[in-house]
Structure 1
Amino acid sequence: MIAIENLIFGYHKKEVVLENLNLHLKPGGIYGLLGRNGAGKSSLLHHICGLLFPNSGTCRVADKNPADRSPEFLQQVYLLPEDVYLPNVSIKSYIDIYAPFYPEFNHDLFFKFLTEFEILANGKLQSLSYGQKKKVMISFALATQVKVLLMDEPTNGLDIPSKKQFRKIIAGNVNDDQLMIISTHQVKDLDSLIDSVLILEDKKIILHQSVDQITEKLVFKQVMNLEEVAAPIYSEGALKGYAVVAVNSKHEQSRLDMEMFFNAVQTEKQQILSQFN
């Protein structure tokens, strides 16, 4: 579905943002794209949807070159940007104008999502708060039912109950023939939602592993004393002792703590990455 080979991109010759980046993604999953601010996450998403073009290397999405921006390609790819700027029209007028660009757009799903987000369908876009506008656009993005759905910091502007509702809606609305990438630096917002983790650092993807692969190699646990853990890699002080990421030498079952894992990669990168080589 997505095949990127040796991609190099920079806004200026001396400012390389992505360098020799390789990435292959298949449909049927939700990918969490993690990285620090400025790591190049948005630039990568913009290449996938054809808003930026590689200086060298290739990017293919659904067997098409995104840079060509053919109608067939644009009908099957949707990017929800971090900041949304909407016209001064009603929600229903917005749907009348933009939904026809997407042949698989499902009106019933759109209004169902609005109801779940507690947004009135007869409202005007400019009368909504930033968070409410974000909910409308999340609903629109999902209702397009495109094959490749890209979301850049979708939970920015959402309060805690809305983030919970976002996770619930996303989890129940990804088909086997779809591919979704959610980019965020608010790592905890993706807990229990994604199938695979992508970490962008040093201008390339340094880690691409499924959640199952991560919890097979590493164990996440709470302990009172670090001596209780055979091979700790990373630890943080917790209310009761320590939260620890350790080598899963005893094949223990644990739940991936996305924030802990990301922090562990940042501070103990070589030790973490060596577990997957």
Structure 2
Amino acid sequence: MITLKEASISYKRNKPVLENINQDIQPGRIYGLLGKNGEGKTTLLNVLSGQLFLNKGTCRIFGEDISQRSVNQLQQLFLLPEEITVPEVTGMQYIHMYAPFYPTFRDDIMKACFESFEVDFSTRLNKMSQGQRKKIAITLALSVHTPLLLMDEPTNGLDIPSKEVFRKLLAAFTDETQTIIISTHQVRDLESLIDSVIIINDKEILLNNSLEEIGQKLFFGIVKPEEKVLYKSQTPFGLLGVRENHQEEESNVSLEQLFNAAILQPEEIKRIINQ
């Protein structure tokens, strides 16, 4: 699906944002893309969508170098950016501007999004709030139903009920024929949907694993004060932590705790996950 080899990109000379990345991203998964501000999450999505070109290395998607930007390739992917620039057209006109380019476009998904988001699609986008415009953009992103869907902070600008609607629509109208990569800081908004995690740290992809693989190697839950842990935090429910899973204990992976552990102890996380 996606293969990155020696991939590097810089905005300024000798200041790489991403450096010498060698990774395969598998099809049919929903990935959570995590990283601190400025670590390159949006840059990676822009590379994968052909919006930015690498300074070094290659990025191949569907067997082609994305820098070629062939029509066939671009018809199979869609990027939902965090910041949306909209023309002075109605929501419906906006959808219909893009729909003909994508052979996978589905009217049933569009109609379901219309009903679920309760937005007046006859209103001009420039007259809508940021949250309403985001709903229009999400409707387009889901309706094109491309094999590769890239989403940059999709829940930003949505109120709490709308975030729940987004989760339901994503669960209902995506399937195993699609690979979805969602960059987010709001891990709790999407934790129930994500089945794999990519963590960017210090110009590299630190982690690229399924939650099942992570759960086999790491334990998430109540820990004792004297235990050796990778990360811990005091909560009203007790001392929660992340530690190596020596005894194959079952636990639910906490994306928030995983991310904090990975940032604090990246080498230990790599050692444990890759052993």
TM-score range, shorter chain: over 0.9
1:78-121 Cα deviation digits (max 9, x unpaired) = 10001011111111212222211111111221121121122233
2:136 and 2:84 map into 1 onto residues whose CA distance is 10
Residue 79 (structure 1) aligns with: 79
Can you give the 5+ residue segments of structure 1 that lack an aligned partner in the other structure? none
Residue 258 (structure 1) aligns with: 255
- Assess if the C-alpha contact under 8 Å between 1:198 and 1:208 holds in 2: yes
Residue 238 (structure 2) aligns with: 241
Residue 189 (structure 1) aligns with: 189
1:10-38 Cα deviation digits (max 9, x unpaired) = 11212211110112112111011110110
1:90 and 1:138 map into 2 onto residues whose CA distance is 15
> Which amino acid letter does the alignment assign opposite residue 203 of structure 1?
K
1:159 and 1:92 map into 2 onto residues whose CA distance is 22
1:214-234 Cα deviation digits (max 9, x unpaired) = 1111111135x424xx54321
Q: For residue 276 of structure 1, give the secondary structure of its aligned residue in structure 2.
A: helix
Q: For residue 208 of structure 1, give the secondary structure of its aligned residue in structure 2.
A: strand
- Assess if the C-alpha contact under 8 Å between 1:39 and 1:201 holds in 2: yes
1:112-261 correspondence to structure 2 within 5 Å: 112-222=112-222, 225-227=224-226, 230-261=227-258
Q: For residue 110 of structure 1, give the secondary structure of its aligned residue in structure 2.
A: helix
Q: For residue 86 of structure 2, give the secondary structure of its aligned residue in structure 1.
A: coil
- Assess if the C-alpha contact under 8 Å between 2:109 and 2:173 holds in 1: no
By how many angstroms is 1:250 displaced? 2.5
By how many angstroms is 1:153 displaced? 1.1
Residue 98 (structure 2) aligns with: 98
Q: For residue 232 of structure 1, give the secondary structure of its aligned residue in structure 2.
A: coil
The alignment status of 1:274 with 2:271, answered yes or no, reads yes
- Assess if the C-alpha contact under 8 Å between 1:79 and 1:151 holds in 2: yes
The alignment-based identity, stated in percent, is 44
Q: What TM-score do the two structures reach when normalised by structure 2?
A: 0.94
Q: What TM-score do the two structures reach when normalised by structure 1?
A: 0.94
> Which amino acid letter does the alignment assign opposite residue 8 of structure 2?
I
Q: For residue 36 of structure 2, give the secondary structure of its aligned residue in structure 1.
A: coil
- Assess if the C-alpha contact under 8 Å between 1:29 and 1:174 holds in 2: no
2:108 and 2:225 map into 1 onto residues whose CA distance is 52
2:269 and 2:204 map into 1 onto residues whose CA distance is 16
- Assess if the C-alpha contact under 8 Å between 1:82 and 1:152 holds in 2: yes
2:222 and 2:168 map into 1 onto residues whose CA distance is 26
Q: For residue 94 of structure 2, give the secondary structure of its aligned residue in structure 1.
A: helix
Q: For residue 275 of structure 1, give the secondary structure of its aligned residue in structure 2.
A: helix
2:190 and 2:228 map into 1 onto residues whose CA distance is 27
User: Alignment RMSD, CA only?
Assistant: 1.5
1:169 and 1:263 map into 2 onto residues whose CA distance is 29
